[in-house]
Amino acid sequence: MSIAGTLAQTIEQRSAAHPKPDARLTYGTAGFRTKASLLESTCFRIGLIGALRSKSLGGKTVGLMVTASHNPEEDNGVKMVDARGEMLEASWEPICTAIANAATGEELVAELNKVVEQKSIDLSVPASVVYAYDTRPSSKPLAEAMVDGLGAFDTNVTDGGLLTTPQLHYLVLALNTQHEAQPYGSPTTEGYYAKLAGAYMSLMKGRPAPPPLIVDCANGVGTVSLKGLLAHLRDALVLYPVRTAVGQTGALNNGCGADFVKSKQRLPEGFEHEPNVHPGELLCSFDGDADRIMFYYLVGPATDPANFRMLDGDKIASLAADHLGELVHAANLDVNIGCVQTAYANGASTTYLEQRVPITCTPTGVKHLHHAAEKYDIGVYFEANGHGTVLFSEKAQRAISEADTSKMSPESAAAIAQLAAFAELINQTVGDAVSDMLMVLVILAMRGWGPREWDATYTDLPNKLVKVAVADRTQFRTTDAERRVTHPEGLQERIDALVAKYPSGRAFVRPSGTEDCVRVYAEAEKPEDVAELASATEALVKEFGA
């Protein structure tokens, strides 16, 4: 079966209404992402691909999300969510790239037919797609172009509307498991809120509510998500959402949000004037589509930048792995727990975790961490930027649900109940700022900790990240989860010689996946050593990249 006749004509006619710009786009970890003005044809075509992907899975629902996450407001993007709520299967990434870059309507149909043949797709199978979008001014029009593509295949389309990216991931898995013996959850946004709120209140039962938490929503869709959650939590949690100017031109991710806090290592702009910002109290920031979270606190007045302390993805991973590991031990379950990091993880966090759980290091990109985490019974993964989650394997969930608590000590029975609730609280499809926020608050409450106690578990090594412009980033090739350079030849030996000069020194370089540059990361015991090491490594990259 192939795309021909009336269907081919329909696709070509609709494609002509969404002309392709003179730009080449590549589908990567973040899907397609570029200036919003260049994306209309790509969004139309991802609608076509979404329909084919659903058909290839026997009609299971897949998701399409229009968002550019932490990027500036003028950018946008689109990515696909596979049937289990995970990121798109890797073999479809080059398919997306080829279809997005087909020059004409005829070439587009030809590329689609290649997919139909390659994947043995039965075009008579009804397709099902749910889509959503973030708060950018360009998002809804781009979503409409996507729907035009879906319509070419007469797809069963569900409009999720304005959602966070993690909510769309949740909906896809919930829709596809709603008729199974153990559905993931009710396939609605209210079902999402009810699941998280119910698990949170179960874990917090009998415990004092945590102190009020200021949440920087990055002027994005997390604002809407928090309101929905609070309606279900009632008085169980007090949140003060700020930076909530959804729809205000130029506000999204501007001087605020998780990426700003992480990259600038400072409070969001204007926080020193917020009436509820006080030293010693926990604060957090979402990014624009609420799939990342960054925690932080102050050790003194907000007017002094030196009083800022950051609790990033490494700290979240350490907190989660430590606590869940203790619960597994207390429950006496025959399951393993491990943690996945990238080369960007602070060396102090790796040392801390290695003493508690097995560690896996993967290349940068959430898809790599997610797949590595699936190899553990309970896999914790977080990038330093605050994007991550915890995965409970079928074996782990079965061990928890089938445990005979009547024959256990009260401590073991309580640990089983808590693990079951954590599996409900954590959005296992993808990193979710809202879910991760609740997880952290629960663990801190259970441990009787505030931000200072959490921060004191280990002290981050001073570090620095530098971008170096080069003529051709592709000449830089890496191995060992991007921690060592194989090309240009001789560069790694020079880096090793530099690193050896500094106590606790570490440095690596890797080509950017999205920009024409090479990223240099350096860390050491002393800030002045970090500055020297980063500068010297940057000079080497320029020398070898000339």
Question: What's the pLDDT tens digit per position in 45-70?
Answer: 999 999 999 999 999 999 999 999 99
By the 10 Å C-beta count (0-12 exposed, 13-18 middle, 19+ buried), 28 is classed as middle
The model's pTM: 0.95
pLDDT at 152 over 70: yes
Taking phi over 0 as left and psi of -120 to 50 as alpha, with beta for the rest, 167 belongs to alpha
Q: How confident is the model at residue 271 (pLDDT cuts 50, 70, 90)?
A: very high
Q: How confident is the model at residue 545 (pLDDT cuts 50, 70, 90)?
A: confident
- Backbone torsions φ then ψ of 225, nearest 5 degrees: -65, -40
Ranges of each domain in the chain: 5-162, 463-545
Please tell me whether 510 is known to bind a ligand. yes
One of 69, 128, 349, 393 is an active-site residue; which one?
A: 69
Average pLDDT, the chain: 95
- % the chain with pLDDT above 70: 100
Whole-number Å distance between alpha carbons of 22 and 477: 29
Q: How many CB atoms sit inside 10 A of residue 300's CB?
A: 11
Tell me whether the CATH fold assigned to 5-162 matches the one assigned to 463-545.
Answer: no
pLDDT mean over 158-173: 98
- Residue-wise pLDDT for 436-466, tens only, equals 999 999 999 999 999 999 999 999 999 998 8
- % the chain with pLDDT above 90: 92
pLDDT at 514 over 70: no
Beta strands per DSSP E along 252-365: 283-286, 293-298, 308-311, 337-342, 359-362
Tokens of 329: 């031990």
pLDDT mean over 256-282: 93
Give the least confident one: 97-101, 364-368, 445-449, 497-501: 364-368
* Cβ atoms of 32 and 99 closer than 8 Å: no
Please tell me whether 291 is known to bind a ligand. yes
pLDDT mean over 144-159: 97
Q: How far is CA 187 from CA 184, 221, 293, in A?
A: 8, 19, 24
The pLDDT value recorded for residue 353 is: 96
Bridge partners (DSSP) listed for residue 342: 362
- Residue-wise pLDDT for 351-383, tens only, equals 999 999 999 999 998 989 999 999 999 999 999
Please tell me whether 384 is known to bind a ligand. yes
Instruction: List the CATH code of the domain at 463-545.
Output: 3.30.310.50
Please tell me whether 69 is known to bind a ligand. yes
Tokens of 367: 């898809």
Tokens of 412: 């073991």
- Residue-wise pLDDT for 315-339, tens only, equals 999 999 999 999 999 999 999 999 9
| Helix locations, 312-466, DSSP H | 313-331, 347-354, 366-373, 394-402, 410-425, 433-447, 451-455
Please tell me whether 385 is known to bind a ligand. yes
The pLDDT value recorded for residue 1 is: 74
Q: How confident is the model at residue 263 (pLDDT cuts 50, 70, 90)?
A: confident
Please tell me whether 511 is known to bind a ligand. yes
The pLDDT value recorded for residue 518 is: 94
Please tell me whether 124 is known to bind a ligand. no
Place of tokens 């979402």: 286
Whether 69 is a known active-site residue: answer: yes
CATH, domain 5-162, list 3.40.120.10, 1.10.3720.10, 3.40.50.2000, 3.40.430.10: 3.40.120.10
What is the DSSP code (8-state) at residue 291? S
Handedness of CA 473, 476, 478, 484 (dihedral sign): negative
